[in-house]
């Protein structure tokens, strides 16, 4: 049975309700109602109010189904299967502290603050570290003070201001792009985890169980691939909206799926970023004589962009030339040929397809 359409819990057709109500009132009055009579006008008002109430009832009942529920009711439904909405997460990166030559013993305390060069985001160290005499540099993980996506995507070398001076520290600089910060989990993402929730109780290392725990690690994750390239090894590949998967996301997934109460004893968990398969779309289009070339070109480009986004949104989505042609077949299009890609692109479950450009050439017109 399909579960993608909101069910109709009660009859809500105003015409049906009006006909039933009018028949019942005419039976009670013993006469036929005329359109301008007071009783008919009152009946229309009553039926209007009843339809409003029934619509609200139907909407309220649909909130009891996780497929159509929204916050905050969705959160209560999630609680029934021991799932909670993922809160905002802090972005992180690895920062190198470089020391002056010939220094003595140093203590880098937990909470030592560094900031980005634009001073918009502050990061803190998360552990105390004793630095031995003469050490040239140390690399430490840091987390943003404020949760959310705003601290993501700061380039290497841009977290470089020391806010809490420590003796003998010469300079600081991040070694990787900041990432892993996420906003509160969306309703759509939470629904997916509710559906997977029964698999969290698996102790046999099922694919669905790893999928649930991986998706629960960070709200930035949009898709996950679970495979076993060799016996005893579990390869987890996450997809996010970033082309370079944040190191923080990989770390979050590893910590979640490698926990003793999650990972079967014999499994070795590996978390890896997906591989990008770049491609470009180029099509030659013949239009009908009556079509406007500028409007048609814009519409086709928009349709192809939507197609490309659908392929970017999941792992392992092949790019098929016939599907590109189908996406171009708008009402104004007479014929289409694809010049790029030159053949179908097969994408493995650890890869995703990224479109680097779309070109729509209007090559002529045909009367059809």
The DSSP code sequence of 44-82 is HHHHHHHHHHHHHHHHHHHTTSTTT--TTHHHHHHHTTT
Position 269 scores a pLDDT of: 95
Alpha helices (H) in the chain, listed in sequence order: 14-29, 38-62, 73-79, 187-196, 207-215, 247-257, 293-312, 321-328
pLDDT attached to residue 233: 94
The pLDDT of residue 202 is: 63
- pLDDT for 39: 87
Contacts of 196 (CB under 8 A, 6+ apart): 208, 211, 212, 215
For residues 245 and 179, what is the distance between their CA atoms, to the nearest angstrom?
8
Q: What is the reported pLDDT for 368? A: 67
CA distances from 254 to 227, 251, 292 (A): 15, 5, 53
pLDDT score at 4: 74
CA-CA distances (angstroms) from residue 242 to 92, 180, 247, 252, 314?
Answer: 15, 10, 11, 16, 13
Q: What is the DSSP letter of 150?
A: G
Which whole-number Å values give the CA distances from 132 to 113, 165, 188, in the listed order?
21, 18, 49
* Locus of tokens 């840091």: 142
**pLDDT by position in tens, the chain (length 368):** 557 788 888 877 888 888 888 888 888 888 888 888 888 888 889 989 999 999 899 889 999 999 999 999 999 999 999 899 999 999 999 999 999 998 989 999 999 999 999 999 999 999 999 999 999 999 999 999 999 999 999 999 999 999 998 999 999 999 999 999 999 999 999 999 999 888 777 665 788 899 999 999 998 999 999 999 999 999 999 999 888 899 999 999 999 999 988 888 889 999 999 999 999 999 999 999 999 999 999 999 999 999 999 999 999 999 999 999 999 999 999 999 999 999 999 999 999 999 999 999 999 998 86
Pull the structure tokens for residue 100.
């002056």
């Amino acid at each position: 049975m399909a579960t993608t359409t909101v069910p109709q819990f009660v009859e809500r057709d105003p015409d049906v309700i009006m006909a039933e109500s009018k028949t019942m009132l005419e039976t009670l009055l013993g006469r036929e109602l005329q359109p301008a009579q007071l009783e008919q006008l009152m009946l229309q008002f009553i039926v209007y109010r009843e339809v409003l109430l029934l619509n609200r009832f139907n909407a309220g009942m649909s909130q009891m189904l996780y497929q159509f529920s929204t916050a905050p009711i969705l959160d209560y439904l999630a609680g029934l299967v021991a799932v909670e909405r993922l809160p905002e997460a802090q972005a992180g990166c690895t920062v190198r502290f470089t020391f002056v030559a010939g220094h003595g013993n140093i203590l880098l305390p937990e909470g030592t603050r560094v900031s980005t060069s634009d001073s918009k985001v502050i990061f803190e160290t998360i552990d105390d570290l004793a630095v031995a005499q003469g050490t040239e540099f140390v690399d430490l993980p840091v987390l943003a003070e404020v949760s959310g996506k705003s601290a993501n995507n700061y380039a290497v070398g841009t977290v470089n201001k020391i806010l809490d001076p420590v003796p003998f520290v010469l300079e600081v600089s991040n070694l990787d792009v900041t990432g892993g910060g996420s906003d509160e989990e969306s309703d759509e993402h939470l629904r997916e985890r509710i559906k997977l929730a029964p698999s969290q109780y698996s102790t046999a290392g099922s694919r669905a169980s790893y999928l649930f725990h991986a998706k629960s690690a960070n709200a930035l994750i949009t898709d996950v691939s679970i495979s076993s390239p060799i016996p005893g090894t579990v390869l987890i590949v996450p997809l996010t909206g970033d082309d370079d998967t944040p190191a923080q996301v990989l770390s979050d997934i590893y910590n979640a799926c490698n926990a003793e109460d999650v990972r079967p004893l014999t499994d070795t968990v590996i978390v890896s970023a997906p591989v990008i398969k770049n491609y470009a779309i180029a099509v030659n289009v013949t239009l009908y004589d009556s079509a406007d070339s500028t409007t048609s070109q814009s519409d086709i480009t928009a349709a192809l962009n939507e197609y490309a986004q659908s392929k970017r949104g999941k792992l392992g989505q092949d790019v098929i030339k016939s599907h590109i042609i189908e996406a171009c077949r708008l009402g104004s299009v007479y014929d289409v040929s694809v010049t790029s890609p030159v053949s179908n692109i097969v994408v493995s479950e650890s890869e995703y397809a990224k479109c680097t450009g779309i070109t729509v050439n209007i090559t002529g017109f045909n009367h059809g």
